[in-house]
Amino acid sequence: MGRVAELERRQSAMELHVINSIQQSLDNNQPLSFQALASLRSLIINPATPDSTLSSVLDALTRSLQLNRDPVFLHHAVKLLSDLASHRPHLSPFALDLLRSDSLFSSASPRLVGESLSVLLSLASIGNDMDAARFVSLCLGPSVSVRQCLLRNAEKLVFRESVLLAVFLGFTRDPYPYVRKEALDGLVKLCKNGDFDDRDVIEGCYCRAVELLRDAENYVRSAAVRAVCEWGRLLVICSEDMNKQDSSDAVFIQLGCMVRDMSLDVRLEAFEALGKIGLVSEDILLQTLSKKVLGINKDKAYKPIEGLDISVSAVAGAYIHGLEDEFSEVRMSACYSLRTLTVFSLRFACEALNLMMDMLSDDSTVIRLQALDTIHHMATSDHLKVEKIHIHRFLSVLVDSSSVIRSMTRKILKLAKLPQFELFKLCIDGLLGNLEIYPQDEADVLSALFHFGRNHGKFTVHIIEEVAPEMEPASGGKLSFDSTRVAAFLVLAISAPLSHEKDVSAIPPRIFSYAVTWLGRISYGLSDIMNQEKLLAYLSECSRSSTISLADFKINEALLTVEGDASIPLCSKVDSPVSMPFWKDSGGISDYHHQEFLSLGKSAAHAEYELGEHSELRKYVNLIFKKVKDSWSLVELGCTTEACKGIRACKEEVASFTTESPGSFGAVAFTLQYLQVIEMLAKVWGHLRATKMLNPNGVGKLELLFAKLDRRLREISNRFIGLSKGEELQILDLVLVACLLRLSKVEICCCNAAMKLLSSTVAHVEYLHKEGSIEPSNFVTEVKKSLHDADSSSSSSSCQPLLFKKLLDSFSLQQFVLYGTPRSVHAELAVPGNDSENPLPFIPGIPASIPLAITLHNVLTESRLWVRISMGEESTQFVFLDLNLIRNKKRSINVVREFTFVAPFYRTPKAVSFTVRASLGLECFRENVDRVKVFGGPKCELTYLCPEKEIFLCKSTECKSKSAFT
């Protein structure tokens, strides 16, 4: 102890000495010596130095700054101040004030300004210190490093777009390449954030970027590629409709010129950019797959802008080159960008498939995977036409040593629809081969066979006829069901009745009974489609009669809804073992693509995934959200069906996610709900935004769609808790869009209600913005503004469909990024012991009591719950469920609450027996929309937390069994 005290004493003595000597020299108007500066620095970086000493250090520095103008000294002073600010946060305001002072930041020496600027920037504390004039004058100064630094941070020093545009565009002429690069990067950022509609400006920027594509420096060229891409897209947008296609083609070709650049980075950028250009003519797309200039493209020149003529031959074989590039990063990028382009042309997709088949034998696993992903993408957008020459190469991937690749291949097979039996048989053989070599894949192979069989009803029946002898019990009456091969055929067989084709009754019923003996294994494989009970029910149903009437069979309905719009997942708990381990690292895969996804995610918001057991799941889920965002661009282009198909594929994938780990259920349920909302939104959008007039039949359908959309939106906004403000805001954005969509169509609009909802939502959004101090998105600001305008202009706020239509243009789907773990609010409702055989007793005319066993998940105590009991179409009654009372009676657990509630049913009919349907609803506070209410019922719309439960009641005397509940 004594030693420590001694040390402390010594140190404070030293501090005193240093300070004193500095004070002395300052008092004598002498500049500080370097030695003094060094000791000051040691004081600053020593964490043990008390604050009082540091304050006097600060004073000393202030005084010496007034005294001394020696640039070397000032340089050191800046360094000291930056150290001080970073080591002692509470002293940093003083240090920063000094840095901003005239002697440093505003000094005449550009070097000093640069240094203090970079310190200020690194401490993220530059705000109003700079006005545009000062910024420009510093930029125009002779110091290159200051210029570069300023340009790089220009958007932090927020200025008007016009100033930034002028500065950036001007400095693309700078003789220093790094300044040119920063200027180009600045232009790219400006283009992404800004709002330009002056064609002259856009053309000017585009042309300048095109000029710099021929710069001598690699990094300038790659920046120029980005700039050409962004400004080119803007150029396309601002072109007249007639010229849109041509401009888009021209930009594509311009970028295509860069794929043969010698620099790896430039090539990477070029392919990435090619994928971003949406609308490209088929001729040009086909040209990218042929090194020889196609006849149709000969002498075809594009002229997007005066003086920028460009010939199609420039893109000749772009993708051929990209896919045989030496660097796997480039091949990857080419594969990826090809993916986005296959949507636009069937012919292109077919040609590209040839190349993809070659990529399946690439030596890098990541690229094989990306190639499969591209093929999968073609399949979901219905652009996959497999031919016989492909099928062998494709099936050879089924025996790939990497399990991820095999699983991806099967995923594609699940979607395949083959025209010939021969090909079908080859695929089946391939899957069987896979099963033989890798028995660990069994579950997924069975699932693949099921889907595959379902897609090819007739072929399946045909093949089952062929192999039927194999499946029969061997002689001696003993069932030799021990080979997985038989299991595979059984799965195939049972899939046939569920196909959409008619002539599928040829499967002998006994096969279904054989399948029953395999129930465990098969249901394990099919767990993403149906659970064991459903499967058993289905199998026994099928085995009973040779003519199956599937009309009344529930599975078929459910399966159809999976494709149409799945309201309720068939099995409440999806515990599938075949969850897609898509990007699960399987050994030495270099994670290039991973990084790319991360960087893509960043563009939506910073994607800093928190670590934890859900981070894996969250990553998959966020990948799904990214896909959704991608498909939205299709919706905007008018390809609703394709987009919906993509979303449905996502849904299937999400449904296959495992929900075993705690908390993952909510995330998966949320994702599914989100997908459903987007799908409905897409459908409505497609209906409304289509250019053709709404036909009268359509109105009814649209109403239906709207009703569904509203329900889904209600569910997503009320049935999940634990969402962050940002996440909530994104959902509210969707609500806004739904309102606007409704308002944009006179025929279906009930203006007042929708307007009310709109304004209440906007108010809520505003509240959230203030609360979380989040910058509102462009779209929201627009909506707010026009809402305000509408209010002020006419109090009646009559419908202005055109206004709302215009507003919709400013909407673009943001990528949803899931950070937290949303918890799903749901409930289970049961009447123990009640079924059609054991009904509850009642006396006609006298209220009956219905005992409900209720389990609530994640329901907050302040929420208002209603039990809705309805009998037929005509009579519905609501019973309020007071959660406070319940808590008093039963001990409640935080998340899950179980209790019994006896609900009265008042209007019992004069009948021997009847059924009622009961469900639990949650009142949605925000949506207090006027409507015809049942007296005494809820004031707001309800969101139902569980499926309806059918309850059987029977006249008391005729009750067969005495109920325990009376």
Partner 1 sequence: MAIDCLVLGAGQEVGKSCMVVSINGKRIMFDCGMHMGYTDSRRYPDFSLISKTGDFDNALTCVIVTHFHLDHIGALPYFTEVCGYKGPIYMTYPTKALAPLMLEDYRKNMDRRGEDEQFTSDHIAECMKKVIPVDLKQTVQVDKDLQIRAYYAGHVIGAAMFYAKVGDAAMVYTGDYNMTPDRHLGAAQIDRLQLDLLITESTYATTIRDSRYGREREFLKAVHNCVAAGGKVLIPTFALGRAQELCILLEDYWERMNLKVPIYFSAGLTIQANMYYKMLINWTSQKIKETYATHNAFDFKNVRNFDRSLINAPGPCVLFATPGMIVGGFSLEVFMQWAPSENNLVTLPGYCVAGTIGHKLMSGKPTKIDLDKDTQINVRCQIHQLSFSPHTDAKGIMDLVKFLSPKHAILVHGEKPKMATLKERIQSELGIQCYCPANNETVTIPSTHYVKADASGTFIRSCLNPNFKFSTRSSTDKSYLDSNKSKAVSRLSVSDDRATEGILVVEKGKKAKVIHQDEILHMLGEKKHEIQFAYCIPMPMARTEDLSSTSHMLCGFDKSTLISRLSMILSDELSEGNILDLGEELQVESFRVSVCSSDNCPHRLSSSLQNGSESVFFCCNWSVADEKLAWKIISIMKNSTL
CB 686 within 8 A of CB 601: no
Please give the residue ranges that form the binding site for partner 1 (CB under 8 A): 139-142, 147, 166, 169-174, 200-201, 203-205, 207-208, 214-216, 260-262, 291-292, 305-306, 316-317, 320-321, 323-328, 355, 358, 361, 363-364
Contact 755, 743 (CB under 8 A): yes
Measuring CA to CA, how many Å separate 950 from each of 65, 750, 853, 915?
84, 34, 13, 7
In the complex, least distance from residue 257 CB atom to partner 1, rounded to whole angstroms: 8
**Residue 326 or 930 having the CB closest to partner 1:** 326
> Minimum distance between the CB of residue 187 and partner 1, rounded to whole angstroms?
11
Q: Is the CB of 320 or the CB of 853 nearer to partner 1?
A: 320
Instruction: Report the distance separating Cα 778 and Cα 763, nearest Å.
Output: 16
Judged by beta carbon, residue 47 or residue 175, the one nearer partner 1 is 175
Tokens encoding 754: 């929708």
Euclidean distance between CA atoms 28 and 25, whole angstroms: 5
Nearer to partner 1, 179 or 644 (CB): 179
**Sign of the alpha-carbon dihedral angle for 889, 893, 899, 901:** positive
Please give the Cα distance from 293 to 281 (Å, whole number): 15
227 and 212 Cβ atoms separated by less than 8 Å: yes
Q: Please give the Cα distance from 578 to 584 (Å, whole number).
A: 13
CB of 721 to partner 1, least distance (A): 48
**C-beta closer to partner 1: residue 316 or 953:** 316
Instruction: Give CA–CA dist 396/414, Å, rounded.
Output: 16
Q: How far is the CB of 243 from partner 1 (least distance, A)?
A: 14
**At 457, which helix (H) or strand (E)?**
helix 457-471
Cβ closest to partner 1, residue 323 vs residue 448 = 323
Pick between residue 404 and residue 755 the one whose CB is nearest to partner 1: 404
Look at phi and psi of residue 386 and say left if phi exceeds 0, alpha if psi is from -120 to 50, else beta.
beta
d(CA 287, CA 282): 8
Q: Compute the distance between CA of residue 596 and CA of residue 474 in angstroms, rounded to an integer.
A: 55
Residues in the chain: 966
Tell me whether residue 208 or residue 949 sits nearer to partner 1 (CB atom): 208
Taking the complex as a whole, the smallest distance from the CB of residue 47 to partner 1 amounts, in Å, to: 43
In single-letter form, the type of residue at position 330 comes to V
Choose between 18 and 310: whose C-beta lies nearer to partner 1. 310
Q: How far is the CB of 416 from partner 1 (least distance, A)?
A: 23
Distance, in Å, from the CA atom of 314 to the CA atom of 128, rounded to the nearest integer, reads: 48
Q: Is 310 helix (H, G, I), strand (E, B) or coil?
A: strand
Q: Specify the amino acid at residue 477.
A: G
User: Which CB sits closer to partner 1, 229 or 266?
Assistant: 266
Q: Which positions ≥6 away from 695 have C-beta within 8 Å? A: none
Query: What distance in Å separates the CA atoms of residue 119 and residue 122, rounded to the nearest whole number?
Result: 5
Compute the least distance from the CB of residue 310 to partner 1, in Å.
12
CA-to-CA distance for 956 and 963, rounded, in angstroms? Answer: 10
Q: Min. distance of Cβ 703 from partner 1 in angstroms? A: 48
- Integer CA distances (angstroms), 156 to 115, 182, 260, 774, in order: 17, 14, 35, 17
**304 vs 666 by CB, closer to partner 1:** 304
| Cα–Cα distances in angstroms (integers) from residue 240 to residues 199, 203, 689, in the given order | 11, 14, 19
Which structure tokens are listed for 543?
């085995």
Q: How far apart are CA 131 and CA 55, in angstroms?
A: 31
Nearest partner of 488 among 455, 515, 527, judged by Cα: 515
Q: Which is nearer to partner 1, 208 or 769 (CB)?
A: 208
- Integer Cα distance of 109 and 125 in angstroms: 21
User: In this complex, which beta carbon is closest to partner 1, that of residue 54 or of residue 201?
Assistant: 201
Looking at the Cβ atoms of 203 and 272, the one nearer to partner 1 is 203
- How far apart are the C-alpha atoms of 876 and 7, rounded to whole Å? 84
CB closer to partner 1, 274 vs 316: 316
By C-beta, is 40 or 371 nearer to partner 1? 371
Q: How near is the Cβ of 409 to partner 1 at its closest, in Å?
A: 15
CA dihedral 605, 607, 612, 615 (to 10 degrees): 90
Minimum gap (Å) between residue 316 Cβ and partner 1: 7
Residues 6+ apart with CB under 8 A from 620: 580, 582, 583, 657
Q: Between residues 183 and 954, which has the closer beta carbon with respect to partner 1?
A: 183
CB of 759 to partner 1, least distance (A): 42
CB of 306 to partner 1, least distance (A): 5
Quickly tell me which residue has 């959230």 as its tokens. Answer: 768
Distance of closest approach, residue 188 Cβ to partner 1, in angstroms: 17
Strand pairing category for 949-955 and 840-842: parallel
Nearest CA to 267 out of 216, 309, 326 is that of 326
Number of helices (H) and strands (E) in the chain: give both, helices first: 39, 13
Exposure string over 631-655, b if 16+ CB within 10 A, otherwise e: bbebbbeebbebbbbbbbbbbbbbb
Q: At what angle do helices 403-415 and 442-455 cross, to 10 degrees?
A: 20
Based on the number of CB atoms within 10 Å of its own CB, is 288 exposed (0-12), middle (13-18) or buried (19 or more)?
buried
For partner 1, the closer of residues 316 and 732 by Cβ is 316
Q: How far is the CB of 44 from partner 1 (least distance, A)?
A: 36
As measured in angstroms, the least distance from the Cβ of 532 to partner 1 is 38
672, 574 contact by CB (below 8 A): no
